[in-house]
Amino acid sequence: MDLMKINGKIWIWLYVAIFTKIVDKLVIWNNKSLYNNSAPIIDLPSHNIQKNKMIWNNYDWSSGGEEWTVDVKKFREMDPMEWKKGLINDIMLKYINRNSNILEIGIGAGRWTKILQPLAKKLILVDISEKCLEICKNIFKGKNNIEYYLINGKLDMIKDNSIDYIWSYDVFVHINPTDIEKYIKDISRILKPEGYAIIHHSGKYSKLKTREKSFRSYMDAHTFEEFIKKYKMEMVEQNFSLTHLPGDIISVFTKSSSKTKCI
């Protein structure tokens, strides 16, 4: 397929334009409440695991994912490096302590891994993309505190109660609600009591087109928190101001030692 030769954002935009506007529109039409931005639980064909895998295996990662950092200048009129520094200081380092076991879900080209690796006693990197894993293996060659795993929507290779902190940015915004819930269920199993998970996900947007153009899945703050509660965890905060795209959300949640383990 000729489109598969197209790299980077050009490929993403073509994919969204062609696949989303044909197949996804049929799904959206059958769920007309989407048009008033109520964001029910709905899975779009363009956001399933297979389609995400295809996209990120064919993406041009030569900019290291920092092209999305630059986007904050357009969306929020902020200096990109100042925004990134704020996110790291006010969210990442607020919750993640040194000498800990850290899991990063969706590593891309190591944009956030570069910050997490020096913090970790052990850093587990997982991704659905073979290409992303290979890129990071080359970047972090010689770092003996990193483990790499190719996943397919499950975290079953990780032991129960073994992870202190989980980080995922610019990943869950592209994942369907059904698959998000599966990850949340796994997180409730692998996260240590008093551990924290920091997940960036979709929310509600002032324009429906924003969701489509930014390739966002259907999710909102309330639904995400309901998933957290369902699997016996508790929300710590939901931050709307530190995301690069207005409407996105960063949810921080924990598994309290007083909570019973979800079966």
Residue 191 lies in a domain: yes
CB 195 within 8 A of CB 189: no
- Per-residue pLDDT, 5: 40
Domain of 129, CATH number, reads: 3.40.50.150
Residue 206 confidence (pLDDT): 86
Residue 260 in domain: no
The whole-number pLDDT of residue 45 equals 85
pLDDT at residue 226 in the model: 96
Q: What is the mean pLDDT of residues 179-202?
A: 97
Domain presence at residue 164 = yes
Q: What is the pTM of this model?
A: 0.87
pLDDT given at position 123: 98
Residue range of the domain that includes 213: 2-254
Contact between 162 and 205 under an 8 Å Cβ cutoff? The reply is no
Domain for residue 166, yes or no? yes
Task: Evaluate whether residue 259 is within a structural domain.
Answer: no
Number of separate domains in the chain? 1
42 located within any domain: yes
**Is residue 12, in this structure, part of any structural domain at all?**
yes
pLDDT in tens, 101-126: 999 999 999 999 999 999 999 999 99
Q: Is-contact 99 138, C-beta < 8 A?
A: no
Question: Beta-carbon neighbour count of residue 23 at 10 Å?
Answer: 14
Compute the distance between CA of residue 126 and CA of residue 60 in angstroms, rounded to an integer. Answer: 19
Q: What angle do CA 207, 213, 217 make, to 5 degrees?
A: 85
